[in-house]
Structure 1
Amino acid sequence: MIPRSGPEDRRIVPLHPTPPEAAAIRVAIHSKRFGPTEVLRDVHFSVARGETVALLGPSGIGKSTVLRIVAGLDPDFDGEVQRPRRIAMVFQEPTLLPWRTALQNLTLVHPDLTERAARAALARVGLKDREDAFPRSLSLGQQRRLALARAFAGKPEMLIMDEPFVSLDPELAEAMLALTETLIAEACPATIFVTHARAEADRLASRVLELRGTPATLCPHLI
């Protein structure tokens, strides 16, 4: 957790504290445009294995666009991204396969995953005895747990999360935060996640980056 400070002793979190040789992810987005409109400029940062970086900023500024570029889903930008091979993503919506069981949602995505390992992964997130349930029969919280199980079952080197706790009630959000915190500590991926909630950033992140301006760029974050 990032400690809070009073106004008189606020610290500036540097944008590039990760030594180049230790970085699992290196991002250099010189420019990103949608048509004639430049939405991102000079978004440069790196993330080490085992480090969790939170990306903050107002709605519509380009946080999810950064994630899509980092994940390789949007190649139309000026710059380059270095990423590891094993990538997992957790979205705002669970994006599960509705016509497949919870167990199949893991084994179809990870063909090398044994059924025993898949069952263990489901039990790890509190879905023991729900292996044969279809997503539509699961609560939203259970669907989010299934999405986490699927992400971590592949032992990712890089984890990307786009507001995974949005629309959850406070009690469920706290449970999901605690579970995610534990899974990240166990797997130690290089993690980038977007959130609007400063409390979530404080809880999970070892470093906070903030997008500001038009076009958006990264600013050192005052804490």
Structure 2
Amino acid sequence: MIRADIRSKSFGPLQVLKNIRFEVKQGECLAILGPSGVGKSTLLRLVAGIDKGFEGSIQRPERIAFVFQEPTLLPWRSAIDNLLLVHEGLSREAAQAMLVRTGIADKADVYPGQMSLGQQRRLALARAFVGQPELLILDEPFVSLDDTTADQMLDLTADLLRDVRPAALLVTHDKREADRLATRMLQLSGKPASLGPVPQTFSGGRAYQSGRK
């Protein structure tokens, strides 16, 4: 479902990625770990086709969903309209069913600004999965959540991945998230950055708001 061969990605004279090759099949979730600033989000933009300025090739399916670090919802539309407006032909019944599945059925007519961060993150997941994506890209979707909410979101995401079975690419620098969701993982490191195995000593670098290390 995804085949990436990125020989080089540069911003002006600065090369940030080199010799990155991987494949992700349907039903697999590849976690890419690495510290902040190493180029993980740049890699995701290339895979998604948002940034086309690189040397190499990427094969991807047509139906792609992207869950960003921030929920990136339409603030002037209700929760259910955030699903209906993004997915042409989606029935209101199917949209409501996904809101039920993600635990925010009672928020269908509520605007994102009236929802907690955890509820907004649930809505972002609902918007991504309701379209039955062939490729799902997750860019640190659990950042800034407290322990309890993060654990609930990880469980929900794992369930949705099992049901929908997209080829999934997860970027994080919390190895515990990768352990919960990924079928395999690689580490992005170096300058310019390339992919390699995750060291046994890798412990990540992010704590949730509550301070869990």
The TM-score range, normalised by the shorter chain, is: over 0.9
1:31 aligns with 2:8: yes
Residues 48-74 of structure 1: CA deviation (Å, up to 9, x unaligned): 100000001111110000000000000
- Give the equivalent residue in structure 1 for 2:150: 173
Gaps of 5+ in 2: 201-213
Gaps of 5+ in 1: 1-23
Determine which of 57, 69, 91 is the counterpart of 1:92: 69
Q: Which runs of 4+ in 1 moved over 3 A?
A: none
Q: Measure the CA separation in 1 of the matches of 2:106 and 2:177.
A: 30
Secondary structure of the 2:161 match is helix
- The residue identity in structure 2 corresponding to 1:40 is L
Determine which of 57, 62, 72 is the counterpart of 1:80: 57
Residues 191-210 of structure 1: CA deviation (Å, up to 9, x unaligned): 00111101111111111111
1:214 aligns with 2:181: no
- Give the equivalent residue in structure 2 for 1:118: 95
Determine which of 145, 150, 164 is the counterpart of 2:127: 150
Percent sequence identity over matched residues?
58
Q: Measure the CA separation in 1 of the matches of 2:189 and 2:85.
A: 40
What is the number of residues matched between the two proteins?
A: 200
Q: Measure the CA separation in 2 of the matches of 1:119 and 1:70.
A: 30
- The residue identity in structure 2 corresponding to 1:62 is G
Residues 32-60 of structure 1: CA deviation (Å, up to 9, x unaligned): 00000100000110001000000011111
Secondary structure of the 2:105 match is coil
| Structure 1 vs Structure 2 CA RMSD | 0.7
Residues 6-40 of structure 1: CA deviation (Å, up to 9, x unaligned): xxxxxxxxxxxxxxxxxx10001100000001000
Determine which of 43, 66, 73 is the counterpart of 1:66: 43
Residues 136-191 of structure 1: CA deviation (Å, up to 9, x unaligned): 00110000000000000100000000000000000100000000000000000000
- Give the equivalent residue in structure 2 for 1:9: none
For residue 111 of structure 1, report the CA deviation from its aligned partner.
1.4
For residue 212 of structure 1, report the CA deviation from its aligned partner.
1.3
1:205 aligns with 2:182: yes
1:193 aligns with 2:170: yes
Q: Measure the CA separation in 2 of the matches of 1:125 and 1:221.
A: 31
